[in-house]
Structure 1
């Protein structure tokens, strides 16, 4: 009863509370309304009162009307078609529990005349997604005793980029903080936290094996000083301070999770320079400007600024933890001219033996 699956690819179906021809409810909203009506003792006590009141009101409206005469002709003809079989035909409201499933939500946006409301399913998918967001929040806020399982299929569908992060912060994180279990699939870097790796499963299509494989699934906390990294790490600044700093200056950091290869560069100028270099190289091979511009995205490669050698250590350890191929490009910032000296070094072994390497 407390499991909710919401498919944002079929967002309009998720707000439909009507039953199918087989008598089933498909949407999570319809199922939840049905559950509320079935368990609400106050509504159950008012069942007979509501039934009599609506029947009396309907009869009063229909009395002497063209619709009443039309319904009577239907009854008469149906009885004749059944070979004068004694039958009763009633034209009235659905069962008490069904009435609330056939009611609809209407919305007025910036509307001064509250009479001119529009059914929610007449709006675009973006507005409907925000309405679904409100429904989910309401379910979480009213289920204080029973904990729920929420499963979302790509909730970023039809949401503007800014609303994607809002959905992540205000809905997904809020559900988890209230004690509900949340599982969701996403392609959006706005709906994940790259540092909260214990809650992330990375799934990727392996082109060699021609199948989908799990690339990352660790339930432990990311700790750059852990023994699993197998290399000594000296914390230059606290991870909490670094996290706060980098999120404010590097909005594309979460793209690491959606990449097969990560190139870490110092700053935005380096990002533009290396992106241009890649495009120029690819253009020289394919002679296609559009293809060269899309090459990095096509191959799931991300160029991410680390904004300094000190802070770069965290991203290096994060890439190791996520088992990603990574490359780091950084300036040496020598005080003296070293170009002539380094030009004579022909191998990495020779470089390591040189004082420059120290």
Structure 2
């Protein structure tokens, strides 16, 4: 039995390695000049045009997709354990709606630079997560985890309406925000990668180090407390890390839905519920999944489809599959 499991595990790891290599090659090779530019850069024979396209455009874009995929997938996995709900995702804290308000506000105020958009989206998302937690963790609620979930839904609804109002009153200058709301890695900047990468690495390391705690949390607060976990402290830390990861991703790439559901559940089917295996394999799949979706977005039309639109089209049927699977 053990040998059979180890064989399956080895096949999963090999498949994930192959997928990641494929995603890297496609991300750096697909587009103007094709793989010729990539080959020239690898061999050191690239001219200025090839170097700029591969290293200044395609590579940052690939890294943004990797950051977004890993952050959203790992956050989704953590939220599903925290809320003990397999359909929970990173945006349940209202982070996406909060970030959207910040980005829309930067455009409405006429200060829409890369730094202002990232800064305002990032901080408004963090403030939103803090407000949601503050409301949900009130001593008035018997089940604070459930209260946080409902508070997130309510705050997200309010901020979505506020974003719509900002778009309505600044319609002519809001086309960038509308495209950003649908999620995109177009026009990547190295500054965005440098901003997001250290935050993402730190957040993922925290989740990986505390992955055993997620197993205990999944079995209930009483069980987690019985095995020595300070549930309240860990819940605060977990929500803070997930808010940080999600807000960072939304700030650089916009709102990309369903990634936090599709990727964790795909790996849950393959490796099981134990988070010491589930979490790293989820991150590993996401670093291939998101760049591959981005490649599809780039080649689907003469222009470019929003990445969030593609993940939504994939996520809807996947969501229904999960519902039917649980009802069987």
Larger RCO: Structure 1 or Structure 2 (Cα < 8 Å, ≥ 6 residues apart)?
A: 2
What is the TM-score normalised by the length of structure 1? Answer: 0.21
Q: Which protein has the larger Cα radius of gyration, Structure 1 or Structure 2? A: 1
What is the TM-score normalised by the length of structure 2? Answer: 0.22
The structure richer in helix per residue is 2
